[in-house]
Copies of this chain bind each other. A is one copy, B any other.
Amino acid sequence: MIRKTSARPREIRGVKKIMEKAEPTVYFAPLGGLEEVGRNMMFFEYQNEIVIIDAGLQFPEEETPGIDYIIPNIAYLEPKKQNIQGLILTHAHYDHIGALPHLLQKLGNPPIYATSITKAIVLKRQDDFPNSPKLNIQVVKNGDKVQLSNFFEAQFFGVPHTIPETAGVVLKTPIGNIVHFADFRIDYNEEDRPQGLEEFEKIGKMGIHTLMIDSTNAEEAGHSLSEKVVEKNLEAIFRKAEGRIIVATFASLLTRIAEIIKIAEKIGRKVALSGFTMKTNVQIAQNLGYIKAKEGTLVALEEIHKFRDDKLLILSTGAQGEPNASLMRIVNGEHRQIKIKPSDVVVLSSSVIPGNERSVQVVKDNLSRQGAIVYHSNLIDIHASGHAPKDDLQLVMKLIKPKFIVPVHGYYFMRAANAQSAREVGIPKENSILMDNGQVAALTKSGFRVTEREVPAYYVMVDGLGVGDVEEVVLRDRRALSAEGMVVIIVTVDRDKGGRLLKSPDIISRGFIYLKENQEILEGIRKRLHGLISRLPNYQPLEPDYLKNLIRDQIGQFLYNKTKRRPMILPVVIEI
């Protein structure tokens, strides 16, 4: 699948382009990930060739109630799908691969380039989408060079992150080398010395036009916490435990999971896995040799009763308090094999994603109430982030020495903090590029210019089976309903008699106040409806829209005066 051509038809095809623009220009646009954390996707276009990096999803926010997740908008790419030469995946986290099942067919099922663990996790996810086409995934290793098309070549390099085989990529283009550092951290040894920088130094020496760099932790001071420290602290907690150990973490933190299994072997505990993704991810990591559990270390959940409590460690999903994850089932007493006992030691080895504080608190409270000893990272370092903070970001900038830098992954302020860091290491302000999703940049050999052009980048929401059918108007209604509720008012009128009420109005409310217990308000509404309808002119036919507006305004005002709330008023006029 590595495509090569001998002739580069640039001169022939490019006539029109050359007329417009004397020098070769690569166009670049982020489709997501630059105004949020998640939904990472970007593409490069040169003449009739397009290369994409990542296709991630974004988890819902407070402003998108009820939504499953948000995916990148590919309205620009879809009609150009025949031009897509390749889709590079940097690593197997859902904010980088999660949108694939929804997008691949629309993108013409292009060749995908990914490391083996990324491939395995992508294929596993496809099981949930049985009608998808067979994917066309080319496995790459870090160090590989791949000619993607006439004009684009990719060179992969390893970056430390929380999942093995995370790949940075040097994209060689007609205007120069563009480096995307994926999600990364820097490994430190126990003496706090950074490890494995030679590779990055080499890339710097290639001569780099633009560096795309992770901004997730750009607001944090200092350098990455050594995973060695985390391991040491975990081992100390494990050794002290007198009963079972239950470690809850993300199933995607495979590097941590591999370490925990190693420590368990060292201290003589069997490991049981709880939670579907925990099982499948560990299976994948075992198949690829990233988890090298000895024969007999891993035991089935159904077997744990055969082992003494102080010989057991359970790895569980649900460290964020997710409603259906294994830890929540354990906490709620709904887990078939695991009930909390007072001697249990529960370790939450993950950070709390903003918005999940309350759910995590509930989990900790309930574990603690059931007598478990709970460890979380406030009091002791038992989690290290996968994203480089300020000092490490600057370290990479200094090694790569790019001409231009594009902070990616994160809200504007995080990216601005990253740009500020770039200035501090000598990258001129005008060469730190802060773009928004959908903006198009024109890259020439010596320049990087954000153009006036834009491609669509608004939210595409996935909700149940629907993709893109929940729009802003629906979300606005959900938000309004959740704050003030609604009142449906149904008046049945006689069409022929200018709107005489045929029966007492039907009033239904939900999420407003409990009307059954507020007879006074209910009577107030009825009285006003009767008054309002009796005053309708009876010398002309009823205009239902006029009556609806009247109801909406007058009943809305009445309810506001009575309650200082503005429920959604839905008037229905039934004409008989």
Contact = CB atoms under 8 A, between A and B. Distances in A.
Interface stretch (A175-183, A185-193, A281-289, A506-514): A506-514
Contacts of A65: 482-483
B514 A464 contact: no
Interface string A356-380: 0110010011011100001010111
A227 to B, nearest CB: 20
Interface residues of A, number: 72
Interface stretch (A24-32, A139-147, A470-478, A528-536): A470-478
A220 B503 contact: no
A511 B481 contact: yes
A486 interface: yes
A510 B570 contact: yes
Given A378-B220, A484-B66, A477 B510 contact: yes
Nearest to A363: B413
A258 interface: no
A298 interface: no
B62 A463 contact: no
Contact of A474 (B221, B474, B511): B511
Contacts of A477: 485, 510-511
A383 B292 CA distance: 46
A514 B62 contact: no
A21 interface: no
Interface string A480-508: 01111110101010000000001100101
Contacts of A463: 513, 563, 565
Given A464-B564, A478-B482, A481-B482, 11 more contacts: A61-B358, A65-B482, A355-B357, A365-B412, A368-B413, A464-B563, A464-B565, A481-B510, A506-B572, A508-B572, A576-B576
A303 interface: no
A378 B62 contact: no
Contacts of A374: 413
A9 interface: no
A22 interface: no
A47 to B, nearest CB: 33
A379 B219 contact: yes
Contact of A364 (B413, B508, B513): B413
Interface in A122-176: none
Contacts of A18: none
Given A378-B219, A485-B477, A469 B358 contact: no
A529 to B, nearest CB: 15
A365 B35 CA distance: 9
Interface in A510-567: 510-514, 517-518, 562-565
A479 interface: yes
A401 interface: no
B479 A482 contact: yes
A459 interface: no
A358 B60 CA distance: 12
A296 interface: no
Contacts of A473: 514
A127 to B, nearest CB: 17
How many copies, total? 2
A223 interface: no
Given A66-B485, A474-B514, A488-B508, A412 B354 contact: no
30 contacts: A63-B358, A66-B484, A66-B485, A219-B378, A219-B379, A220-B379, A354-B357, A361-B411, A365-B411, A367-B413, A368-B413, A379-B390, A464-B563, A464-B564, A465-B563, A469-B514, A474-B513, A475-B511, A477-B485, A477-B510, A478-B482, A478-B485, A481-B486, A486-B486, A488-B488, A490-B572, A492-B574, A503-B574, A503-B576, A506-B574
A570 B509 CA distance: 10
A223 B430 CA distance: 43
9 smallest beta-carbon distances between A and B, as pairs: A482-B482, A464-B564, A354-B357, A481-B481, A66-B483, A478-B511, A365-B412, A364-B413, A477-B511
Contacts of A229: none
Given A358-B354, A506-B572, A510-B481, A416 B368 contact: yes
Interface string A386-408: 00001000000000000000000
Given A219-B376, A464-B565, A469-B514, A361 B413 contact: yes
A508 B489 CA distance: 12
Nearest to A421: B379
Interface string A81-98: 000000000000000000
Contacts of A355: 355, 357-358
Contact of A485 (B364, B474, B563): B474
A466 interface: yes
A474 to B, nearest CB: 6
B478 A483 contact: yes
A328 interface: no
A499 to B, nearest CB: 15
Contacts of A70: none
A435 to B, nearest CB: 12
Given A354-B358, A413-B364, A565-B463, A470 B513 contact: yes
A568 interface: yes
A473 B516 CA distance: 12
A512 B474 contact: yes
Contact of A379 (B221, B376, B412, B506): B221
